[in-house]
Amino acid sequence: MYIRYSLGTALLLMGCTSKTTEGGSDAESSGSAPAAQITAPVPGETIRDGALFIARGLATDEDEDSETLTALWFIGDEEVPRECPQGPTPDSAGLTQCDVSFSFDKPSIRLQVTDTDGNISVDEVTIDLEEAEAPVVSITAPEDDSEFRTNDLITFVGNVSDGEDNPEGLGVWWDSDLQGLLDLSHTVASDGTVSGSGYLEPGQHTVRLWAQDTSGRESSDEVVVKVYEPATAPLIAIVEPADDANLSLGDVVVFRANVTDERDAPETIGISWTSSLDGTLGTDSATSDGAALLPISTLSEGSHAITVLATDSDGLTASDIVVVHVSEDPIEDTGTP
């Protein structure tokens, strides 16, 4: 439907147009009616439901400057003055525009122009609406199942796009199932890149990036992030053999230590054994129950300071030392000083 009509012209054909003054008396209006013309959208133009659209039009009058006219926009029967940057006044060339959005129950737009004599002209255009889609959202950092400390500044990066709205026009926010809305001071670039940074509390977080378009449609993407307390060194202690033990030269002896860490599983902790006499004895990892074992029969004769060193994934280390004496005829340990 494409309607153009002038109420002022119709009233003039009937005789004269009257308006009521503040004093209550009737006076006759003079002059021709203004002209209203919608230039965008055009009749039958296809526009997505809820999408932001800049409506444009012309408001002119043969008897008046365009800047003395009043131009009002309507979607259906609802006036939309707040979204019109010029307000109700056209510019000197008669141009007027308004930011609008259409819905399936309001598929038409109307421009109403009134001159100072009260003459009115109206133009109306009906458009074709198509269903809009929700925004597309993806998180690129941090990666899913990544791990951090509470004192790590985490960089959050994602991308948003929408078929109707520019990225900067989308509502964008980050949240966590543990912390709720995240204050990351993020920015949205013209290419849709969303970036910010912040800290997370200890625990396993499901972090989501949300985007909402101007029609109210929402989408999100999510990653799981594990956050630990600030790093501490592992704990390790040699439990066998006892300190100052006497060993027979050539016999198999099993050195045993127990290791734990506040973050890493025991089997992921690096273990190394060294002797003050023989140097490096071996490197290995602990078992799942935290046992670090070193069976050895090649210790040279003499007194050895045996050191075990544990290194976790943060590069932090811990060690323990035991002294053993190796000889061909070891002194029997009676347990009495």
First-to-final CA distance of the chain: 110
Pair (15, 112) in one structural domain: yes
Q: Is residue 80 part of a domain?
A: yes
- What share of the chain has pLDDT > 90, as a percent? 72
pLDDT of residue 163: 79
Same domain? 219 vs 124: no
Q: Within 13 Å and on the Cβ side, how many CA atoms surround 7?
A: 14
pLDDT of residue 91: 93
Mean pLDDT, all residues of the chain: 87
pTM: 0.52
**One domain, residues 118 and 17:** yes
d(CA 256, CA 291): 7
Is the pLDDT at 9 greater than 80? The verdict is: no
**CA atoms of 68 and 91, how far apart (whole Å):** 9
Over residues 300-318, the pLDDT tens digits come to 999 999 999 999 998 999 9
User: Could you tell me if residue 13 is inside a domain?
Assistant: yes
Contact 119, 17 (CB under 8 A): yes
Which among 222, 227, 197 has a CA at the least distance from the CA of 140? 222
Same domain, 10 and 114: yes
Statement to judge: residues 181 and 268 lie in one domain: no
**pLDDT, tens only, 95-118:** 999 999 888 888 999 999 999 999
Q: How buried is residue 158: exposed, middle or buried, by Cβ count under 10 Å (0-12/13-18/19+)?
A: buried
The band of 47, judged by pLDDT with boundaries at 50, 70 and 90, is confident
Is pLDDT at 147 greater than 70 in this prediction?
yes
Between 24 and 77, residue with greater pLDDT: 77
325's CB contacts (< 8 A; 6+ apart) are: 244, 245, 246, 247, 302, 303, 304, 331
pLDDT at 1: 35
Q: Decide: 257 and 236 in contact? Cβ < 8 Å.
A: yes
- Same domain, residue pair 49 and 84: yes
The CATH number linked to 264 is 2.60.40.10
pLDDT, position 333: 53
Q: How many domains does the chain have?
A: 3
Token digits for 158?
A: 């994602």
* Domain-located, residue 68: yes
Domain assignment of residue 95, given as a range: 2-130
Q: Does 48 have pLDDT greater than 90? A: no
